[in-house]
Amino acid sequence: MEDTETMFDTEGVTKNFMFLNRKAPYGTIYAQEVLELVLISAAFEQNAAIVFMDDGVYQIVKGHDPSVSGMKNFSPTYKVVEMEKEDAEEDEDIDMVWKIIVEKESMEARGLSTDDFIINVEVLGSQELSALMAEQDVVFGG
Amino acid sequence: MKLGIMVNEGPFTHQASDTAYQFAKAAIEKGHQVMRVFFYYDGVNNANKLSEPQSDDRNLVKLWGELAKEHGVDLVVCVAASLRRGIKDDILADGFRISGLGQLIEVGLAADRTITFGD
Amino acid sequence: MLHTINKSPFDRNSLASCLRTAPDGGAILFIEDGVYATAKGTTFSGDVEGALKNQKVFVLGPDLAARGIAEDKLIDGISVVDYSGFVDLVEEFGTVQSWL
């Protein structure tokens, strides 16, 4: 775990963070580095909506094997994100709520269904996603 | 208004750092507080003091450093992203410091608005 | 909400994704290569005109100037702001979503 040293007084502050993943994995580093950001946010026990939209849905499809290209497979990290979400749900001492969401239109446009994903996701149509967006305090887009 | 700014690209390939700098400068001129600029992804390259743009071009590494010095803006480069890209303390430009990704979440909590500039 | 779009609609789908999901009553600000969407008579002009029904639409003047787009070429209803105006939009419209 990286250091979480703080400088500002954020005691008792809770916000809704959205991590909007719109980029495919491997072609660029964005998908991999945003995962590090999602995981560090868990240390602050904040609400998080981790959304996969547009080519971002390709980040969580099954069967990635970048080893033949010499690249690191970071697919397993999505399982860690899923575990954090489940831990938050099960542990009564943790107030944060995490959601893992796929936008329906992006998924269907790519001929995918929830069976294709390595983690359990909630599928929201663009209108529902829009309503969720309106509830956010901070959006980290990628 | 208290602002947090995230910069995701370096000073040359994309316009992101230019836009972020102009935005930060305008915000400060209007009396707002830029609490922290957090550099992530290739954005950490904004902190490389070895970079030498041509003399007739803008020098964002210097401009960011001057903004920090004149207005007390906290310029933080992500340690994990920096290590990958070879940005270490001995080549860190004036005004920047290296710290953890938690500093981005922290400013997101502390600021009234957090805005991302990237590609 | 304030949405910023920095990609040309001819290159990426940021504009389409933003228009599909942006909550009504917010603002869209076109910056960087996103400003190409604000000109009249392009294949995306209709989409932007449609957006004007639910959102306020702005474009960053310095990015128009850099790209040689005259303000009289803009779709009616789009307002031009400078960096100071950009800051005002962030203050007025709340959470910022950057469609990178």
The two three-digit tokens of residue B32, written as one number: 């707002």
CA–CA dist C95, C84 (Å, integer): 18
CB contact under 8 A, B102 and A40: yes
CATH of B2-117, one of 3.40.1350.10, 1.10.630.10, 3.40.1260.10, 3.40.50.2300: 3.40.1260.10
CATH for C45: 3.40.1260.10
pLDDT tens digits, residue range A61-92?
Answer: 999 999 999 999 999 999 999 999 999 999 98
CA–CA dist C80, C59 (Å, integer): 5
The two three-digit tokens of residue A37, written as one number: 């950001």
- pLDDT confidence of residue A4: 52
Q: How many CA atoms lie within 13 A of A98 on its CB side?
A: 25
- Band (A7; pLDDT cuts 50, 70, 90): confident
CA–CA dist B108, A131 (Å, integer): 21
Q: How many residues does chain B have?
A: 119
- Band (B7; pLDDT cuts 50, 70, 90): very high
Average pLDDT for residues B82-102, to the nearest whole number? 97
Nearest CA in chain B to A33: B41
Contact present, B37 and B20 (Cβ < 8 Å): yes
Using the structure block, give the residue that is written with the tokens 């930060």. Answer: B24
Name the residue among B8, B79, B102 with its Cβ closest to that of A43.
B102
CB contact under 8 A, A37 and B110: no
Count of beta carbons in the 10 Å neighbourhood of residue A82: 18
Task: Give how many domains chain C has, as a whole number.
Answer: 1
ipTM for the predicted complex comes to 0.97
Q: Is A100 exposed, middle or buried (0-12, 13-18, 19+ CB in 10 A)?
A: buried
Contact present, C84 and B30 (Cβ < 8 Å): yes
Give the gap in angstroms from C-alpha B56 to the nearest C-alpha of chain A: 31
Query: Could you tell me whether strands B33-39 and B74-78 are parallel, antiparallel, or unpaired per DSSP bridges?
Result: parallel
Give the gap in angstroms from C-alpha C70 to the nearest C-alpha of chain A: 30
CB contact under 8 A, C90 and B15: no
Class of the CATH-defined domain A21-62+71-141: alpha beta
* Per-domain boundaries in chain B: 2-117
Q: Is B78 a catalytic residue?
A: yes
- pLDDT confidence of residue A2: 45
- pLDDT confidence of residue C100: 95
- pLDDT confidence of residue A95: 87
Chain B positions touching C95 (Cβ under 8 A) are: 113
Preferred mutation among B5, B15, B41 to probe C, highest tally of C CBs within 10 A: B15
